[in-house]
Amino acid sequence: MNSKVPTKRDQRAGNNAPQAMSSARSDDHVVQLWLRGKSENSRDAYVRDVSAFFAHSGTDLLLVKLEHLWAWDENLRRDGLAVSTRARKLAAVKSLLSFAHRIGYTGFNVGAAVSLPRIPDMLAQRILSEEELGQILALDMPMRNRLLLRLFYASGARVSELVSLQWKHVSARTTRDHVSGQITVVGKGDKARNVLLAASVWKDLQVWQAEELQAGYGQASHAVFRSSRGGPLSRQQMWRIVKAATRAAGIDKDVSPHWLRHAHASHALDHGAPTHLVKETLGHKSLTTTSKYSHARPDDSSSTYLDI
C-alpha cells in the first residue's frame, strides 16, 4: 500500500522532536507504524485523509503547527463538506500526531489543542420505516442483489463485513425451534462474531449457493457476493446496489448500506429484542469470555425478531 506522506530532511525539525528517542526513521515510517493493526478499509481512508492534509499544508510531520490544522479545517469548511466528514478527516490527522508524539518522534502533540467539530445526532433521520424496507425488499431484481439487501438488513452487518464474507463463513444451524444457518463476520478490530439468520434468509442463501456452485463458484474460498469478474463485490458496488434499489422503490432519501444496519437495530428493538442481544449481534462492543462460548453457536439473535 502506498502511504507516502510528503517529507523533508529531519534536520529541518530541530525545534520539534529529538528523533533519537524513536525507532521511526521518517514521516513515512511513522505512518506505516501508525497503520498497523487497522483494517484495510480503515488504512485506505486514513492514508487519503492524512495525505490530503500534508498536501494542503506543504509541510512534514515534524513541522506541523496549529495554523496548519486550522487552515486545513477552514479549507474543508469552504469545500462544503458535512460536519461528520470534517470531523473524520481531522480525527485521522489528530490520531497520527498523537501517535507520533507517543513514540517519541515529535516533541509535543500539536493536535491535542484542536477540538473536533460537534456532530449533530441525525440517527433518527437515517432509520427507514418497516414499510420502506418492505418496498425495497419487494422489488423485482437479480437474486444476488435481493439477497444482499436482505442480508444487510437481516444481519445488521457493515458493508466491509459483507464485502469479505466467503462461503466458508456460512454454516447450517439447528436450533430448538427450526433449521437455519449462521454467518461469521469480522468486524472492527478484527473481532469475529456469529449471527444467526432468520429461516427465510437462510433458505435464500442456500438457493443462491446452489446457483453459484452451478456457475463454478460457491466453494469455501469464494465470495458470497461476487462481481461479474468473479471477485468479491467492492464497497462501491454494494453502495450502488443499495442506492439503485432505494430509487426504484420510490424512496427519496440518500440511503446507504449502513441505513439497513440502523434499521435492523431499530426494528428489532421495536419487536422486543433485548438491548444486549442487538448490541452483540451488531458487534457494538466486545464480548465477555463467557459469552464467547454461547455466541460461537448462537441459539438466538436479534435477526430472528425481524419480520423478514
Give the E-state strand segments of the chain in sequence order: 170-174, 179-186, 192-196
The torsion of the CA quartet 104, 105, 110, 113, rounded to 10 degrees, works out to -30
Contact of 16 with 63, CB cutoff 8 Å: yes
Cell numbers that stand for 222 in this block: 469464494
Which listed residue (68, 222, 261, 295) is catalytic? Answer: 261
DSSP string, 231-287: SBPPHHHHHHHHHHHHHHTT--S---HHHHHHHHHHHHHHTT--HHHHHHHHT-SPP
Which listed residue (8, 203, 235, 258) is catalytic? Answer: 258
Which listed residue (188, 203, 235, 279) is catalytic? Answer: 188
Phi-psi region of 13 (alpha: psi -120 to 50; beta: other; left: phi over 0): alpha
Which listed residue (68, 89, 158, 222) is catalytic? Answer: 158
User: What is the spatial distance between Cα 207 and Cα 120, in angstroms, rounded to a whole number?
Assistant: 43
Which residues make Cβ contacts (< 8 Å) with residue 58, sequence separation at least 6?
A: 6
258 part of the active site: yes
29 part of the active site: no
Q: Say which amino acid occupies 32.
A: Q
Cell numbers that stand for 118 in this block: 460537534
Contact of 222 with 166, CB cutoff 8 Å: yes
Residue whose grid cell is 470531523: 87
| C-alpha 14, offset from chain centre | 39
261 part of the active site: yes
The residues that are catalytic are 158, 188, 258, 261, 284, 293
